[in-house]
């Protein structure tokens, strides 16, 4: 039994697919990458925390790679970008965010992304039953389309995960101020180029993020 089949067996109530399946097409695409060796070495050097997740928006060792320069040219049309990582041991949905630019991901460990589509949001609310899981195999480079909802990946083993995160430069930087009284989409703006909906049971809710996810706080079981 392969990894995806095992995940499906352990998570019968969560729709699970691979990023290579047709179901992924509305959410993103697999990118060509001739040689991932240098990218893999750089990602493995970032380390995985013993608990929780760690996000670094900009990592020089990654940004210096030829592979990142190629992503900047082919995905972002030579716009300024940042390349960092989200590594950890998380396994819950907790929240969903979106950016108005693409996000590029890559992993050496394998992981699951919990994704939803912009049209799944109704009156700034998302029911978690609309969320689907997508297995990202090791050494696979993907682009998540703009506005597609996503958040921190979920681990598929007890060893945790690493995940490259490439975005337009400045994304996820702090805002000068957060307008918690704003209505509509403006009320979801949590950081620069980051619109966030969180589940009431999430750590993000306790920090004042907009509570915009109803239903179960999904868990990926391993």
Note the pLDDT tens digit of each residue in 151-173: 999 999 999 999 999 999 999 99
User: Per the confidence metrics, is the pTM higher than 0.85?
Assistant: yes
Average pLDDT of every residue of the chain: 96
- Going across the sheet that includes 111-115, the strands are 16-18, 132-136, 111-115
Pick left, alpha or beta for residue 181 (phi over 0 → left; psi -120 to 50 → alpha; otherwise beta): alpha
Q: Is residue 65 scored above 90 in pLDDT?
A: yes
Q: Please give the Cα distance from 24 to 28 (Å, whole number).
A: 6
Q: In the structure, what pLDDT confidence band is assigned to residue 183 with cuts at 50, 70 and 90? A: confident
**Percent of the chain whose predicted confidence (pLDDT) is above 70:** 98
- CA 188 centroid distance within chain: 17
Q: How confident is the model at residue 34 (pLDDT cuts 50, 70, 90)?
A: confident
Per-residue pLDDT averaged across 81-89, rounded? Answer: 98
pLDDT of 108 > 70? The answer is yes
Model pLDDT, residue 62 = 98
For the segment 187-201, the average pLDDT, to the nearest whole number, is 97
Q: How confident is the model at residue 1 (pLDDT cuts 50, 70, 90)?
A: low
Whether residue 97 contacts residue 121, with contact meaning beta carbons closer than 8 Å, is answered with no
Q: Which of 188, 189, 191 is nearest to 211 (CA)?
A: 188
CA end-to-end distance (rounded Å), the chain: 14
**Mean pLDDT, residues 131-150:** 98
| Amino acid 180: pLDDT | 63
Closest CA to 113 of 67, 163, 53, 147: 163
Q: What is the pLDDT of residue 178?
A: 67
Q: How far apart are CA 127 and CA 130, in angstroms?
A: 6
Q: What proportion of the chain, given as a percentage, has pLDDT over 90?
A: 95
Q: Which residues face 55 on adjacent strands?
A: 86
């Amino acid at each position: 039994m392969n990894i995806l089949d095992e995940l499906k067996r352990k998570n019968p109530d969560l729709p699970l697919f691979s990023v290579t399946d047709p179901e992924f097409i509305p959410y993103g695409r697999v990118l060509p990458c001739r040689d991932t060796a240098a990218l893999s070495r750089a990602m493995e050097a970032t380390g995985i925390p013993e608990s929780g997740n760690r996000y670094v928006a900009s990592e020089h060792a990654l940004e210096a790679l030829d592979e990142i320069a190629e992503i900047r040219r082919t995905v972002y049309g030579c716009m300024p970008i940042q390349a960092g990582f989200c590594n950890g041991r998380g396994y819950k949905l907790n929240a969903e965010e979106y950016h108005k630019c693409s996000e590029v991901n890559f992993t050496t460990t394998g992981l699951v992304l919990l994704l939803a589509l912009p049209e799944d949001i109704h009156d700034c609310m998302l029911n978690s039953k609309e969320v689907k899981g997508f297995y990202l195999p090791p050494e696979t480079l993907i682009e998540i389309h703009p506005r597609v909802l996503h958040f921190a990946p979920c681990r598929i083993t007890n060893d945790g995960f690493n995940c490259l995160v490439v975005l337009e430069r400045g994304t996820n930087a702090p805002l000068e101020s957060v307008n918690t009284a704003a209505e509509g989409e403006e009320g979801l703006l949590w950081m620069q180029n980051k619109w966030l909906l969180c589940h009431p049971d999430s750590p993000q809710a306790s920090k004042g993020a907009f509570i915009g996810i109803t239903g179960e706080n999904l868990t990926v079981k391993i």
